[in-house]
């Protein structure tokens, strides 16, 4: 655990948080570093509650509240990474330094980073490695430092994902206060905090998952329009472009099982897959030319369902085969209660369509345990990349958290005006946020230096013809596909369904 800035008091007390409520206050008092984030989260919750109390809020307030929530969450991420002071010499941070520096050096030389000086993920071919970043705005590395760019990269991807969280609020007609609880869970759950903190920067793609959830919700409602298809495909392609192949696979599995029933949705899934492949061809074609169908060695998932529940609550979970961050899924006892609410099927006719998404949720929970995935999907091309299946649990966490918030919302609409109810609810919500912040403090990485890092990370030399053609042909396909898809969305999104069932009023979304 030398990768992490573990304060001795927090390391011992984090496991006891919420077992004894006063522990939260004691840790808050003893840890000045969390005072600002705790105050910001509390102020955001209070503001969201005040907005929900208004019977007829002015038109400008929804956008202002959403913008305020996004700013607070971006500030929480900046706090987590100490304003861009990354520990580049520790763990996987060193690998990410090489990836971003390769772009900077290639751009300064007026070229592309075709080869690395050292093999990463089994290849020196930089543009064929599915964990390397390849976004259009990567050109900013020509005049920005790596530290500043990575912070900008996080903010950009988080901003895109935050718009998806806003879309979920509007899609499900959620009040601001319940929605803010989900937003905090989305931003500071133990899975994303721990993985980003140890240098798994491809996990930034996780912030695009809300758009997948929006697509899943609309699909479960019966919508099969071009707008839903392209939204999901664009989110998938975005995940692949930022290097988040793992996140893409989990999201694809969730969407696949969401589309199995009824079977008519499989056609929609095929369209999503085809458009994703076309949009991300610039990444996929070089990767297939280099790795083929892939090869890997399966490790494990959670030892048992009990260990998964213990991890969610913050209890110690140990497995000699897995690093601590691979077992981290902290949401706290309050968060676990929210997930349990989300696991209860909806009985109200207006929400019953959401019950279909319990199917992919349950499937991914099962696949995250033991060797279930290793004995089944691990044998399929592309899916062989997932050798640690504890990671699959993040999609069930997000969906169950969102479903729990939806269930709370109906109660909240009736109770929010009552002070005797509002005060304990506000305090409970703030303690929920405080739990997440205190746990994030445990995982916060050290501020590091770049003194021991390599100065030159690229390898010069002629580019292999197959690799060169694979990249540029893939780039051409991606560019043309992006233009065609954008044109189709602009001209047919509200009048044509890829399922072949006729006109669809997608414009209602």
Residue 172: other Cβ atoms inside 10 A:
20
Going by the DSSP 8-state scheme, the letter that residue 354 receives in this structure is G
The residue with greater pLDDT, 293 or 312, is: 312
Domain assignment present for 48: yes
Q: Residue 243 is part of which domain span?
A: 8-495
**pLDDT for residue 412 is more than 80:** no
Q: Range with the lowest mean pLDDT among 27-41, 102-116, 408-422, 436-450?
A: 408-422
Asked if 478 and 286 touch (Cβ cutoff 8 Å), the reply is: no
Going by the DSSP 8-state scheme, the letter that residue 300 receives in this structure is B
Residue 418 buriedness (CB in 10 A; 0-12 / 13-18 / 19+) = exposed
Concatenated DSSP letters of 372-394: TTTTTGGGSTTGGG--BGGGGGH
Domain assignment present for 369: yes
Domain assignment present for 509: no
Q: Give 464-485 pLDDT, tens digit per residue.
A: 999 999 999 999 999 999 999 9
Question: Hey, what are 135's tokens?
Answer: 């976004």
Distances (CA, A) of 447 to 5, 98, 442, 478: 9, 18, 14, 38
Q: What is the mean pLDDT of residues 58-84?
A: 87
**pLDDT for residue 497 is more than 50:** no
Q: Is the pTM of the predicted complex or chain greater than 0.85?
A: yes
Domain assignment present for 123: yes
Q: Is the dihedral of CA 281, 233, 194, 257 positive or negative?
A: negative
Domain assignment present for 303: yes
For residue 458, the cross-strand partners are 116
- What percentage of the chain carries pLDDT values higher than 90? 65
Cα 164 from chain centre: 11
**pLDDT for residue 254 is more than 80:** yes
Question: Hey, what are 335's tokens?
Answer: 């968060």
Asked if 397 and 189 touch (Cβ cutoff 8 Å), the reply is: yes
Going by the DSSP 8-state scheme, the letter that residue 20 receives in this structure is B
Domain assignment present for 355: yes
Domain assignment present for 502: no
CB crowding 328-352: b at 16 or more within 10 Å, else e: bbbbbbbbbebbebbbeebeeeebe
Place of tokens 């083929």: 292
**pLDDT for residue 448 is more than 60:** yes
Backbone angles phi, psi at 138, to 5 degrees: -65, -15
Q: What is the mean pLDDT of residues 55-68?
A: 72
Asked if 61 and 81 touch (Cβ cutoff 8 Å), the reply is: no
Continuous H helices in 81-145: 93-108
- Residue 398: per-residue pLDDT: 97
Rounded (10°) CA dihedral 133, 139, 143, 148: -40
Q: What is the mean pLDDT of residues 209-234?
A: 93
Residue 160 CA to residue 210 CA, distance in Å, equals: 9
Residue 255 CA to residue 276 CA, distance in Å, equals: 13
Domain assignment present for 2: no
As for how many domains the chain has, the answer is: 1
Asked if 279 and 234 touch (Cβ cutoff 8 Å), the reply is: yes
Question: Hey, what are 475's tokens?
Answer: 């780039």
Strand, coil or helix: what is 302?
strand
The confidence band for 487, taking pLDDT boundaries of 50, 70 and 90, is confident
SS (H, E, C) 224-238: CCHHHHHHHHHHHHH
- Residue 426: per-residue pLDDT: 86
- Residue 24: per-residue pLDDT: 64
Answer whether the bond into residue 262 is a cis peptide, omega within 30°.
Answer: yes
The confidence band for 503, taking pLDDT boundaries of 50, 70 and 90, is very low
Going by the DSSP 8-state scheme, the letter that residue 83 receives in this structure is T
Q: Which residues contact 228 (CB under 8 A, 6 or more apart)?
A: 215, 218, 219, 268, 506, 509
The confidence band for 5, taking pLDDT boundaries of 50, 70 and 90, is very low
Asked if 456 and 98 touch (Cβ cutoff 8 Å), the reply is: no
Residue 86 CA to residue 105 CA, distance in Å, equals: 20
- Residue 264: per-residue pLDDT: 78
């Amino acid at each position: 655990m030398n990768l992490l800035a573990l304060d001795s008091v927090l390391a011992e007390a984090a496991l006891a948080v919420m077992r004894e409520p006063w522990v939260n206050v004691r840790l808050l008092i003893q840890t000045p570093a969390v005072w600002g984030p705790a105050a910001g989260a509390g102020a955001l919750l209070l503001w969201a509650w005040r907005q929900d109390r208004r019977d007829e809020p002015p038109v400008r307030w929804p956008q202002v509240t959403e913008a305020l929530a996004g700013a607070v969450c971006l500030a929480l991420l900046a706090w987590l990474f100490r304003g861009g002071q990354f520990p580049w010499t520790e763990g996987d941070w060193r690998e990410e330094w090489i990836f971003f520096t390769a772009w900077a050096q290639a751009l300064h030389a007026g070229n592309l980073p075709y080869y690395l000086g050292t093999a990463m993920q089994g290849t020196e071919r930089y543009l064929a490695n599915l964990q390397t970043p390849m976004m259009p705005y990567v050109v900013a590395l020509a005049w920005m430092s790596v530290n500043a760019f990575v912070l900008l990269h996080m903010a950009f991807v988080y901003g895109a994902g935050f718009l998806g969280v806003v879309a979920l609020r509007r899609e499900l007609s959620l009040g601001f206060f319940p929605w803010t609880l989900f937003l905090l869970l989305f931003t500071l759950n133990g899975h994303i905090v721990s993985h980003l903190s140890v240098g798994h920067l491809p996990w930034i793609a996780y912030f695009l998952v809300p758009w997948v959830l929006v697509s899943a919700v609309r699909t479960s409602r019966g919508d099969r329009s071009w707008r839903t298809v392209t939204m999901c495909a664009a989110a998938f392609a975005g995940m692949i472009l930022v290097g988040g192949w793992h996140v893409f696979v989990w999201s694809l599995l969730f969407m696949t099982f969401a589309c199995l029933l009824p079977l008519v949705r499989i056609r929609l899934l095929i369209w999503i897959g085809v458009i994703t492949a076309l949009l991300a061809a610039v990444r996929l074609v070089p990767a297939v030319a280099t790795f083929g169908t892939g090869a890997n060695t399966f490790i494990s998932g959670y030892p048992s369902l009990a260990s998964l529940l213990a991890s969610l609550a913050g209890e110690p979970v140990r497995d000699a085969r897995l690093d601590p961050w691979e077992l981290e899924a902290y949401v706290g006892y309050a968060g676990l209660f929210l997930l349990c609410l989300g696991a209860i099927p909806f009985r109200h006719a207006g929400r019953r369509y959401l019950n279909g998404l319990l199917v992919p949720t349950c499937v991914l929970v099962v696949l995250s345990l033991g060797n279930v995935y290793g004995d089944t999907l691990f044998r399929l091309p592309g899916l062989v990349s997932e050798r640690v299946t504890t990671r699959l649990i993040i999609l069930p966490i997000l969906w169950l958290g969102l479903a729990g918030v939806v269930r709370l919302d109906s109660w909240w609409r009736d109770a929010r005006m009552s002070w005797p109810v509002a005060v304990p609810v506000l305090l409970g919500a703030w303690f929920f946020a405080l739990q997440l912040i205190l746990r994030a403090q445990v995982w916060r990485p050290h501020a590091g230096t770049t003194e021991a890092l390599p100065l030159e990370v690229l390898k010069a030399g002629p580019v292999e013809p197959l690799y060169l053609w694979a990249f540029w042909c893939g780039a051409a396909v991606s560019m043309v596909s992006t233009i065609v898809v954008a044109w189709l969305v602009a001209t047919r999104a509200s009048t044509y369904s890829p399922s072949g069932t006729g006109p669809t009023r997608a414009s209602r979304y």
